[in-house]
Structure 1
Amino acid sequence: MELSIKSFILFGAIILTGLSAGLFYAWSVSVIPGTEKLTSRIYLDTLQNINNAILNPAFFLIFFGSVVFLSIASIYQLHTKSITFWLMLTATIFYLLGTVGVTALGNVPLNDQLKILKLTDLSTDKIEAFRTFYETKWNRLHLIRTIFAVFSFVLVVLALFFQTKKL
């Protein structure tokens, strides 16, 4: 029974972390290049709408579910002090700090600033200035969290291989 729960948790960590890393990567290679072509007013309006739309149960499940499953999978390995434990622990820390932490302390505050922006009340110059400020910082932070999410995913997949060798 313990083996099946442990396997389920590890499988859940792989799936959720993979979905999260995939979402961030896909955003990097599709949405960012696409929005770079938009005028500043349309860019900011589009990002306001996207930021509202992404706050949904499906996103929260993969984003926060990854932390939960990675953490539990690490705890299951704690007593072993094996390579699987260290891979899981590193994946958890990297995801928590590099993905969730960067998002919470970097991207979300920028999104909050964008959310309260009333585009109809701003001059073209102010819109251009805010876009430059927002887009530059947000994309840099997004790149960081994407790298950490992908790295966490790779580590948890490696943990599966080492775990499977012990079964």
Structure 2
Amino acid sequence: MLQTVVAIASLVLTGALAGLFYAFSMSVMPGLGAIDADQAANAMRSINRKILNPWLFLVFIGSPLVSLVAGFLADGSAALWFFLAAAVNFLGSFVLTVAVNVPMNNALEAGTMAWRDYLVRWTRFNTLRAIASLAALALGAVGVAGL
């Protein structure tokens, strides 16, 4: 029972993270890119401040961690799929975020990065985060199927 609950929680958290990244790349950033650069930069600064909340951290940190726990609770090939999901999620979302997107957010906040440069580069790396999260979701789904 615990194994199933943790496995499903890993899918829910990973799906929420993938959806967040996907929504930014497919709608938020193109929407901001269609308005005045100063307004867009101000809106993104506000988004970057407001997104730092417990719900984000639950999904952002919880997703790879719960997938890892699901791997430890599973056995056989299911465990491997959950471990792969955790690794892809960690590298593709956590590491990319810390190494690329957060420094860019900080540069935008400080006014040291032009909006147009930020928009293109941030969206490119965010789309990689979405792809990695979707891949982690698929890997976790294979793990659930193997339980």
TM-score range, shorter chain: over 0.9
Structure 1 residue 132: deviation in Å?
2.4
Q: Secondary structure at the residue paired with 2:114?
A: helix
CA contact (8 A) 2:7 2:70 kept: yes
1:27 corresponds to which of 24, 28, 31: 24
Structure 1 residues 64-114: Cα deviation after superposition (integer angstroms, max 9, x where no partner): 11022011111223xx3x221221111110000011110111000000111
Q: Percent identity?
A: 28
2:11 corresponds to which of 8, 11, 14: 14
Match of 1:125 in 2: none
Aligned pairs, how many?
147
Q: Note the residue ranges of structure 1 that are not aligned, 5 or more in a row.
A: 119-128
CA contact (8 A) 2:67 2:86 kept: yes
CA-atom RMSD in angstroms:
1.4
1:95 corresponds to which of 85, 89, 95: 89
Structure 1 residue 117: deviation in Å?
2.1
The structure with the larger Rg is: 1
TM value normalised by structure 2: 0.94
- The answer to whether structure 1 residue 152 and structure 2 residue 136 are counterparts is yes
CA contact (8 A) 2:85 2:137 kept: yes
Q: Secondary structure at the residue paired with 1:13?
A: helix
Q: Note the residue ranges of structure 2 that are not aligned, 5 or more in a row.
A: none
* Matches of 1:97 and 1:145, distance apart in 2: 9
Match of 1:62 in 2: 59
* Matches of 1:117 and 1:100, distance apart in 2: 24
